[in-house]
């Protein structure tokens, strides 16, 4: 709960107490309280932003103001039954408002622990070599959005950006729509601020920055892994997260165009005989987006896109992280493209990839993290086939008491997600901490060659982590 929200709840609580305490009701404090509450309410709306979870509390503040007028106050207290009814309703409304606030809080994003400030900028990319197969307009070329995070300097004159960027409200509505909720339900996430500044200069006087690409899963979106991107940027990486159009819950392009997920791209398995054909097409589409982004990075590094990034990227050290469908796409890309030097797959969905392609194995260091939910997944057959074929080092760890969606920032939506089996029993922030330790040390080890811990050392720090497979360079 934000600071002004806490103050508003306390002010309304004092009002409720005064309804049952004659001495308190007669003090000067109570007479000025409604007007002070109104002032805080206005400041709250202007600085923090109003949200629907507190709408009942806002009503109580207005009610408090009306009751401050002497003739209304006297009239109410002359009607004992009315007074009791209003008192009960006020208490009920207060409790309900508290519950709504608990269920849908405005969380703060995890603060990245690296030594660098973080800047961010986004681009729209068009692939002139691919037509869009998921749009109603079949003559349209494939178009995606990417967001970059990087070590920044001189950020004092720049503004922090919202977690969901400048079109946060549209993204929040799109995610709610995709999840089957009324569009206003997740609007509070639009109020969450990131730790990144909008388009400041990139840090000068340092070595080239290694690059890590991030590919979200089916119905995810690029900001759902912003915590990982900020973590990496604060530690001296340039992180790029891709919005896979029509596979993303919603993509809001910089030119104002909005594209929602096309659910026909991946129909339900139970009623689709050729389900894996759809899945293979989707994974390959995501992989094509990764390839497009890799090509774009080369343009960025020679100054064709944004002059400030010219010569700043270490394109000889590119890593990739993928979740679910994005994990499968990351594997598919790394099998074919030697520009990728290290890979992390989080519940990487490799089931749709043909076995003859997996037979080639990854020729780069790879780390796979599996959720508890996917312990018995149909994905395991192809995953272990890939692991057996991979060149070492390659590892697989399971994080127990987690769900498939725990490899994302879904914990930012509501603490109730585990009770609806959207996430696992493990606290979302604890799960994120474990993932961050794996991710940072893995890329430090294989892209920077300067890790403080081995991957096994990271795993041994957490009781919920089990090693399931390992192939070392010495084998």
Backbone angles phi, psi at 288, to 5 degrees: -60, -35
Residue 77, in any domain of the structure: yes
User: 338 is written with which tokens?
Assistant: 């030697």
Q: Do residues 170 and 278 share a domain?
A: yes
Q: Which of these three, 103, 132, 154, is where a domain ends?
A: 103
Is there a single domain that holds both residue 172 and residue 201? yes
> What pLDDT score does 34 carry?
83
pLDDT for res 15: 81
Say what the pLDDT of residue 77 is.
60
pLDDT at 137: 77
- The reply to whether 110 falls in a domain is no
Q: Which of 75, 326, 99 is nearest to 218 (CA)?
A: 326
Taking the whole predicted model, whether its pTM rises above 0.85 is answered as yes
Residue 124 sits in the same domain as residue 95: no
- Chunk the chain into consecutive blocks of 10 residues (it has 475) and report each block's average pLDDT, rounded to whole numbers: 90 80 65 86 92 91 74 58 75 91 92 96 95 86 97 94 89 87 90 96 88 97 96 98 97 92 95 96 98 96 88 97 98 98 98 97 98 96 98 97 96 90 93 97 96 92 97 71
CATH of the domain at 448: 3.40.50.1820
Q: Do residue 280 and residue 180 come from a single domain?
A: yes
For 63, the token pair is: 């009610």
Structure tokens given for 362: 């990854």
Residues 87, 164 within the same domain: no
How much is the CA Rg of the chain, to the nearest whole Å? 26
What is the rounded CA–CA span in Å between residue 344 and residue 320? 6
Domain count for the chain:
2
End position of a domain, from candidates 80, 103, 126: 103
- pLDDT given at position 87: 77
Residue 13 lies in a domain: yes
209's tokens: 């920055």
| Domain assignment of residue 98, given as a range | 3-103
Half-sphere exposure of 256 (CA within 13 A, CB side): 0
Structural domain includes residue 112: no
Same domain for 125 and 95: no
DSSP output for 83-133: HHHHHHHHHHHHHHHHHHHHHS--PPPPPP-SSSEEEEEEEEEEEEEEE-S
- Which of 70, 103, 136 is where one domain is finished? 103
Going by C-alpha positions, the residue among 247, 327, 333, 321 that lies closest to residue 282 is 247
* Same-domain check for residues 182 and 48: no
In terms of domains, do 231 and 300 share one?
A: yes
- Residue 199: its pLDDT value, please? 95
């Amino acid at each position: 709960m934000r600071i002004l929200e806490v103050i508003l709840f306390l002010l309304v609580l004092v009002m409720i107490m005064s309804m049952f305490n004659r001495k308190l009701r007669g003090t000067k404090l109570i007479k000025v309280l409604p007007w002070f509450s109104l002032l805080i309410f206005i400041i709250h709306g202007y600085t923090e932003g109003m949200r629907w979870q507190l709408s009942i509390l806002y009503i109580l503040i207005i009610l408090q103001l009306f009751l401050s007028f002497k003739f209304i106050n006297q009239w109410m207290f002359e009607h004992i039954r009315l007074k009791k009814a209003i008192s009960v309703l006020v208490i009920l409304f207060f409790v309900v408002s508290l519950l709504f606030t608990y269920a849908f809080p405005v969380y703060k994003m995890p603060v990245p622990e690296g030594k660098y400030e973080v800047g961010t900028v986004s681009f729209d990319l068009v692939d002139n070599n691919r037509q869009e197969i998921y749009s109603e307009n079949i003559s349209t070329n494939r178009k995606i959005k990417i967001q970059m995070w990087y070590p920044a300097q001189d950020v004092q004159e720049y503004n922090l950006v919202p977690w969901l960027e400048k079109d946060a409200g549209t993204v929040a509505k799109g995610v709610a729509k995709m999840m089957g909720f009324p569009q206003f339900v997740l609007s509070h996430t639009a109020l969450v601020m990131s730790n990144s500044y909008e388009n400041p200069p990139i840090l000068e006087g340092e070595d080239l920055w290694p690059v890590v690409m991030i590919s979200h899963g089916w119905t995810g979106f690029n900001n759902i892994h912003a915590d990982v991107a900020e973590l990496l940027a604060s530690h001296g990486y340039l992180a790029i997260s891709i919005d896979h159009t029509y596979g993303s819950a919603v993509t809001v392009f910089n030119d104002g165009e909005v594209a929602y997920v096309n659910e026909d791209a991946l129909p339900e398995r139970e009623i689709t005989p050729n389900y894996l054909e759809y899945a293979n097409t989707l994974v390959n589409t995501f992989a094509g987006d990764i390839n497009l982004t890799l090509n774009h990075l080369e343009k960025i590094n020679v100054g064709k896109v944004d002059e400030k990034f010219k010569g700043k990227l270490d394109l000889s050290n590119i890593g990739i992280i993928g979740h679910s469908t994005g994990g499968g796409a990351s594997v598919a890309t790394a099998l074919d493209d030697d520009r990728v030097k290290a890979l992390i797959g989080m519940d990487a969905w490799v089931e749709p990839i043909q076995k003859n392609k997996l037979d080639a194995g990854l020729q780069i260091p790879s780390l796979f993290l599996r959720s508890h939910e996917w312990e018995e997944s149909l994905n395991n057959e192809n995953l272990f086939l890939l692991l057996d074929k991979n060149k070492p080092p390659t590892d697989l760890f399971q994080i127990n008491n987690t769900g498939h969606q725990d490899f994302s920032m879904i914990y930012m939506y509501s603490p109730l997600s585990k009770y609806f089996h959207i996430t696992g029993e493990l606290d979302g922030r604890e799960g994120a901490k474990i993932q961050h330790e794996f991710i940072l040390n893995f890329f430090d080890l294989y892209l920077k060659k300067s890790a403080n811990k081995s991957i096994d050392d990271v795993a041994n720090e957490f009781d919920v982590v089990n090693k399931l497979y390992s192939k070392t360079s010495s084998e």
